[in-house]
Each structure stands twice: as structure tokens, then as C-alpha cells.
Amino acid sequence: MSYRTETDVSRRTYLKLTGGAGAVGLSGVAGCLGESGGGDTTITPGTAPGFPPFEMQQEGELVGFDIDLLEAVVEETEYEIDEWATFDFDGLIPALTQNEEIDVIAAAMTITEDRQETIAFSDPYWESDQAILVREGGDFQPSGWADFEGVRVGAQSGTTGADQVESNLVDEEIISADDFSTYDSYVLAVEDLANENIDAVVVDNPVAETFAAERAVTIAFIEETGERFGFGLRQGESELQSALNDGLATVRDDGTYQEITNTWFGQE
């Protein structure tokens, strides 16, 4: 797949083109599964902006692949979507399970055994590997983890990228814990990379492609992790899980999934 080289197609433009419906809002106060005035069950989705092109803020609007996909999936079910709530990435699972501020996580979240001890997932909707971003034209151009000795590395906290840094660099004592910086958002990490405060960022490949198209950074190499993204939900909510899986199957079969993919990642 060839990825988008820019992210200027807003969700509003996409919906005008495809005839979709449903407003995206940002809410500091969310609700859990409940009944709307019309009697339809509503769900509050949560995400973590700063992960383009999956979810991001664009001219004050929440847009991205995950936003469009979840809304398209829910349109095929008996549920209705309430306003979106936004959190730091590592605050999403607590918001889902502890505070019940949201009902579904749509945030390019990798399905892992550790996370499945706490939450449930829909069927996978995306596969990804990890990419290592460095400054374009910079002195540090690694070809593997062994090249990282003495450099400073960043990743978003709570992500697979952070796990890769821990397991491949910190645990192996290639870099010290002091040389590993975590961030609330990959936007902040890439800014630190561009400003030469760190030397590399480890991030999902499609997100790295988006940053590389827009900033003076480049992908040094790919770590094949074969991770899969899914929508997160509370354990025991089998009806909602089945509904999301059925809706996901429907949007794949009717071409909607491919249309959304083309919008945010370009034509294959």
C-alpha cells in the first residue's frame, strides 16, 4: 500500500463525498452505555489525538481513519455514537474500565495478551509494524538496534513503540533508561526529534510515513512486529462486541472500508 503524503482531507469533506452522517464532537464529560431519547442504545467513543492519520486534530476538528471507521461500523448496528471524548493514550483503558467514561476505544490500539487481561477487543481492522524515525540528513542513520548505543530515543507512553524501546534497547543495556524519553503524543516526540533533543522515535509504520511526508524526518528501518489494531471495549459486553464485529464485516464487504482507507492512506 502507498500511504498518503498529506492529511488535508478532513472528516467533514470525506462525509460530503461519501454521504456519511454523524457529528464528531469533543467532550470532557462522557457517558457510558445508555439509552438515548429515541430509545436507541448510545455508545461514547474515546480516542487519543496526535497519531496521524488514525486520529488527530485538524483546524479544531477531530478527524482520522479511526474516527471514520468506527462511525461507519456503528452505523451498521443498532447502536448510536455519542460525542467523542479525548485522552492521553495511556489514559484510555482507565477511562474505559475504571471510570466508565467511554464505551469503545478507537485509537490504533494493538491487541496484546496483556491488554486482553483487562479489556476485550473487536476483530482486528489493521496490521502494522514499527518504524524508526530519524532526522533527514542527520548523522544518526541506524540499520538496526545495535547501532543505538549512546543515543537518545523517544516514543509515546503506553504504545508498542515504547515497548520496543524497552525490550530492544533499555533491557539490553544498549541505551540507559535516562536516554529514553516518553511523551503524551507522538507529535511532541517528533518535534523533539526535529529540534535535536532526541535522535530517534519508534512509532507505527503508517504514522511514521505521515510524519516523514510532512517534516524533515525519515524512516531508517522497519521492525516487523506484525501487530494488529482492534477497537477496545469492556470485558463481558458480548452484545456490543458482536455488533462491532458484524458492522466491521459489513463495511469491509460493501467497500466502505476501502473508501475510508483510500481517503486517509491513498490509493493502493
- The superfamily (CATH) of domain 11-125+230-265 is Periplasmic binding protein-like II (3.40.190.10)
Q: What percent of the chain has pLDDT over 90?
A: 84
Over 90: is that where the pLDDT of 12 sits?
no
Neighbour tally for 268: CB within 10 Å:
8
pLDDT score, position 33 = 67
**Cell numbers standing for residue 247:** 458492522
205-224: b (≥16 Cβ within 10 Å) or e = bbbbbbbbeeeebbbbeebe
pLDDT band at 266 (very low <50, low <70, confident <90, very high): confident
Measured CA to CA, the distance from residue 252 to residue 158 in angstroms comes to: 29
Per-residue pLDDT tens over the stretch 134-189: 999 999 999 999 999 999 999 999 999 999 999 999 999 999 999 999 999 999 99
Over 50: is that where the pLDDT of 8 sits?
no
Close Cβ partners of 38 (under 8 Å, ≥ 6 residues apart): none
Q: Report whether the peptide linkage leading into residue 124 is cis, meaning its omega lies within 30 degrees of zero.
A: no
pLDDT score, position 30 = 44
pLDDT score, position 99 = 84
Axis-axis angle for helices 256-265, 11-18 (nearest 10): 140
We find that the CATH architecture of domain 129-225 is: 3-Layer(aba) Sandwich (3.40)
Looking at every residue in the chain, the average pLDDT score rounds to 88
Task: Measure Cα distances from 48 to 35, 90, 175, 211 in Å.
Answer: 25, 9, 28, 17
Length of the chain: 268
Residue spans per domain, the chain: 11-125+230-265, 129-225
What mean pLDDT is predicted for residues 210-236? 96
Q: Rounded to two decimals, what is the model's pTM?
A: 0.82
Per-residue pLDDT tens over the stretch 75-107: 999 999 999 999 999 999 999 999 899 999 999
- Say whether 126 sits in a helix, a strand or coil: strand
